[in-house]
Amino acid sequence: FRAATGIYYQSPFYRELRNLEGELNPNIESQKSTHFVLGSDYLFYSWGRPFKLISEIYYKDLQNLIPYKVDNVRIQYLAENNSNGYATGVDLKINGEFVTGVESWASLSVMQTMEDIEDDFYINEETGETIYPGFIPRPTDQRVNFSLFFQDYLPGNPNYKMHLSMMYGTGLSFGPPNSDKHQDILRMPDYRRVDIGFSAVIKAEDKKSKVNLLNKLNSMWISVEVFNLLDIDNTVSYLWVADVSGRQYAVPNYLTPRQLNFKLIVSL
């Protein structure tokens, strides 16, 4: 088991000094974070092979935060130290030889990060009541993230390998442009992706090949990969368009669709 704590300060950089109108705030202070981390490493054997389970639980108290908004893929800072928040969660990772001779791993993270902007409020148009939003999700608030990397090879011939990676993450928060920060409580769709690849060793290191020309090389291998195997449309941001009545619509921008990748690596 292990435990750690610490206080960290992050000095502001130029973009954090500039607000949405392009004005500079020279009175910006460093953002502060106080960390509390408790973790453990557990070594065990299964199927006669070693495995390692790493677990951590943490809480981070965030002070003097500079709130920001994400407009498409552009980050816009509000240039004020007017927010406090927290980040808390659990990280789990297991790695080992699920297949003899090659290492694979899986990880799971559960996290929540929220912030409370000082003196923010809005008026309910129907009741006239003053509403104080309190804590709202930060732009990096991704509640669940799961990753898996698995390797295998042909029985009796480790020169031919397969690797599979899977990723899943719940959606990040976002909101309409030119709006108050407390409106950034919408959620993007969940992120899902599967990649698969196959590789073959043409010339192994420190081994002779039956092809004399290849013996002039130290090693050589080739791989074929399919990125985004299931061709899932993952949303990265939104383009906001308005109709004649001023109503805004969020049009998603998608990440790269399915792609095929060839790779040849030669070591002289």
**pLDDT digits 0-9 by tens, 121-136:** 888 778 888 888 889 9
Q: What is the pLDDT of residues 6-32, one digit of tens each?
A: 999 999 988 899 988 888 998 999 999
Q: How confident is the model at residue 259 (pLDDT cuts 50, 70, 90)?
A: very high
Q: How confident is the model at residue 56 (pLDDT cuts 50, 70, 90)?
A: very high
Tell me the C-alpha to C-alpha distance, in Å, between residue 89 and each of 5, 105, 148: 15, 20, 19
d(CA 252, CA 229): 21
Alpha-helical segments (H) within 144-265: none
d(CA 236, CA 245): 27
Q: How confident is the model at residue 162 (pLDDT cuts 50, 70, 90)?
A: very high
Total residues found in the chain within this entry: 268
Look at residue 168 in the predicted model and tell me its pLDDT.
Answer: 98
pTM, full prediction: 0.85
The average confidence (pLDDT) of the chain is 90
Look at residue 29 in the predicted model and tell me its pLDDT.
Answer: 93
Least confident of 72-81, 129-138, 177-186: 177-186
Instruction: Report the phi/psi class of residue 267: left, alpha or beta, with left for phi > 0 and alpha for psi in -120 to 50.
Output: beta
What angle (nearest 5°) sits at the alpha carbon of residue 140, between those of residues 96 and 6? 70
Strands, E, within the chain: which ranges? 2-10, 31-46, 49-65, 68-71, 74-77, 83-99, 102-117, 122-123, 130-131, 135-137, 144-154, 157-169, 173-174, 186-187, 191-203, 219-227, 235-242, 248-254, 259-267
d(CA 1, CA 223): 40
The domain at 2-267 falls in which architecture? Beta Barrel (2.40)
Look at residue 23 in the predicted model and tell me its pLDDT.
Answer: 87
